[in-house]
Structure formats: structure tokens, C-alpha cells
Amino acid sequence: MINFDWKGVLPAVTTKFTDNDELDFDSFDINLNAQLDAGVDGFILGGSLGEASVLSDAEKFELLAHTVAFVDQKVPVILNIAEQTTKAAVLYAQKALDNGADGLMLLPPMRYNSEERETLAYIGAVAKSTPLPIMIYNNPIDYKVEVTLNMFEQLAAYDNIKAVKESTRDVSNITRMFNRFGDRFKIFTGVDPLAMESLVMGADGWVAGLVDAFPRETVAIYRLIKAKRYDEALAIYRWFLPVLELDIHPKLVQYIKLAEVATGIGTENVRAPRLPLIGEERIKVQKIINDALAVRPVLPAGSWGNVNKVAI
């Protein structure tokens, strides 16, 4: 386990599969290398984009152990926990530590729409079970349970709850968090098409999706905003937005994997019941990606790459 600051660009990486529906570590490593070369600040495994709901327990921890070894402490590796029971979530937190995770991202209970008391008990049980730092994934749009400001007031008692992935799609919630808690919780924007707006409002980082296909552009936007070079960031962001909007569709996994293929750092294979795109939908998504690639911007010098070797 390495100590790290909760900030920067954290890709929610896709899980790569072979044509035989097994984990494809060769393709996975190509993508990780592209992300590292771009200067990302960590990796999140087993999120929505990682197709966690169709991975076996063994596959999740095989993926974690592989990534930890591959990254070799260059950046933190964070495992998402999205479980149906408190018992399973606590077990996953313990196994994540055993397999080398540096942190956790934690969703409220899956499938059951827990009330406030139940949600707090669930999160609290996981926090008490592990020394690992935790990011709360707050996404009531997709997962139906909101972690409210009043709930964060109680969660502040757990020292290892460090951050929140803010995916309520209400950008003003970032200001509300700062007004209520100051810098107690690090705030990450979790919605690609609201990323610049959120970062300008003070978000500390970006849990990103389209970074899986466009790592340099994602890192550049983040760094330029943090350097207050807003006009340069905005020019890239406006170019990027039609592609970023692929992140908020139910088929975001297929859409983003298609983009990874277009940029040469991924494969299109998904695990059933998901299926690759076909027909008019595929043509539409491919056009969005191709239109962006046709006018892909030249990035300002020093706005991406190894953070220890470049400066903006």
C-alpha cells in the first residue's frame, strides 16, 4: 500500500477480454501504458466501465494483483466495491488489502435501495474493517441511493473516508460540499461531460471514462485548468465534448471500448449479456469518434506526460 494524495486524473479503466471471453492482460497492459505515458494519477478497477457486475470474484482479484504488479507503485491502484451485502463488501475490502490495493471506491449497497440509516451503517462497516483510504461513489442517478451532505457529516468521523466521486450531475453540489466541509473530503468529478465545469468550481480530480481512449487530452484539460489556463483548456474541452457525452449512456462500456479501438489502445470485446454495437447505433457512435479524430487538437507543450518531467 502506498500513500497518495486524492487528486488528479483517475481513469475508470475498462476490463479487456479475449475472443474466448477470458481476461486479456496483453491488451489491458497496452492501455495501462498509454495512460501512464499520458501522466494519469492512478487507476480505478472494477467500476461500471470495468464491467464489475459480470466479473467473477477470482477475476476481480486477479485483475487487481496484475495491475498492482504492472504499475509497480508508480501510481495508486484503487478497487471499486459494489456489493449487495455488507458482509461481502467487508470481505472485499479485506481481500483488496491482501492483494495490494492502495485504496477503495465504495458504492452504497447494490440492488437494494437502502435508506439513510442503512447506507450509513453499510459504509461505516466497510470503513471500520480496513485501513485503506476510501472514496465514496455518490451516483444517485444510476444507483438510486444518494449520499447527502447530512450523511457526509456523519461519515466525516471515519478518518479513512477521504474523497467523494461526485456524480449527482448537480455541479452546485461541489460548492455545497466545500461550504459545508472545507477540504475535509477531496472531491472528484465523475461525469465526463461536466468535468471542466466541476474542475473550475474547485474539484480536486477527475474520475474519467473517455480517458481510456484519449488519455493525453484528458490529462491536458485537468492540468491546464489547475494552472488557470482556462482558454486553452476550454478549446480542448469543446472539441472533446461530443465524445465525452458517450460516457452518460447506458451503453457507455461499448461506446468507450469502440473509442479505444479507434485510438489503438483497446479492444471491442465485452462480456455478455453486453454485445458489441451493430447497425445504425454503431455507425452513429463511430461517426462521433471519427469526427473528433479528424480534428484532434495539438496539445500545449507540457500539458500531459510524466508529471515529474514536465511542467505547465
Mind listing the pLDDT tens digit for each residue in 182-241?
Answer: 999 999 999 999 999 999 999 999 999 999 999 999 999 999 999 999 999 999 999 999
Structural domains in the chain (count): 1
Residue-range definition of the domain harbouring residue 198: 8-294
Q: Above pLDDT 70, what percent of the chain?
A: 98
- In a domain? residue 163: yes
Q: Is residue 256 part of a domain?
A: yes
The model carries a pTM of 0.96
When pLDDT is averaged across residues 112-123 and rounded to a whole number, the result is 94
Spatial distance between the Cα atoms of 124 and 247, rounded to a whole number of angstroms: 30
- Percent of the chain having pLDDT more than 90? 95
pLDDT at residue 312, rounded to an integer? 53
Mean per-residue pLDDT of the chain? 96
Does 308 reside within a domain? no
Is 273 contained in some domain?
yes
Residue 183 lies in a domain: yes
Identify whether 91 is part of a domain: yes
pLDDT per residue as tens digits for the range 234-284: 999 999 999 999 999 999 999 999 999 999 999 999 999 999 999 999 999
Give domain status of residue 301, yes or no: no
**What's the pLDDT tens digit per position in 8-19?**
999 999 999 999
Q: Per-residue pLDDT tens for 119-140?
A: 999 999 999 999 999 999 999 9
